[in-house]
Amino acid sequence: MKKYTKPQLTEKLRKVFNEFIRLRDQDRPCISCGERPTQQAGHYFHASRCPQPSMRFNEKNVNGQCIYCNKWLAGNIQGYREGLIKKYGTYVITDLDVIRSIKQNPWTHFEFETMINYYKNKVRYFEKETVETRAIGRCDKVIK
């Protein structure tokens, strides 16, 4: 098996993790404005300020966002905070703060590879579920 560098593994994980977030939140509106549809995976604590993998690839720290909030409103953080509390409950902000403040050893190649496989499987699950849901939707239409 080819030995990837840590930056290559981070990039591979980023791609599959963000794909998972977009699929998970595809039926929810943007976490920040609650209006426009989910188009991207947006961070609450941004990866540039919190580059440690435990925050960068944290399922509560990353949620579906519209391009407008993510790109043009710099994450629309006040709206994001309210959306997080609505989605996960009041303690989510404290939980993320605690995780953010814990110093971690850098992830090993094995840890990166494990997480990449974990999210590949989750993406497969969502893709399969989406196809089945669409198929059921079509059947319902035929029956009615």
State the nearest-atom distance from the C-beta of 56 to Zn ion, in Å.
Answer: 21
Q: Applying CB under 5 A, which of residues 9, 23, 66, 84 lies at the interface with Zn ion?
A: 66
DSSP strand pairing (62-65 vs 40-43): antiparallel
CB of 42 to Zn ion, least distance (A): 8
Neighbours of 18 (CB within 10 A): 17
Draw the binding track, 19-58, toward Zn ion (x: CB under 5 A; -: no contact). Answer: -----------x-xx--x----------------------
Closer to Zn ion by Cβ: residue 86 or 138: 86
Structure tokens of 60?
């509560």
In the structure encoding, which two tokens stand for residue 87, read together? Answer: 């989605």
CB of 113 to Zn ion, least distance (A): 34
CB 31 within 8 A of CB 74: no
Tell me the backbone φ, ψ of residue 106, rounded to 5 degrees. Answer: -60, 145
Beta strand ranges found along 25-91 (DSSP E): 40-43, 62-65
Residue list 80-139, contact with Zn ion (CB under 5 A): none
- Is residue 16 close enough to count as binding Zn ion by CB under 5 A? no
Q: Where does this chain bind Zn ion (CB under 5 A)?
A: 30, 32-33, 36, 66, 69
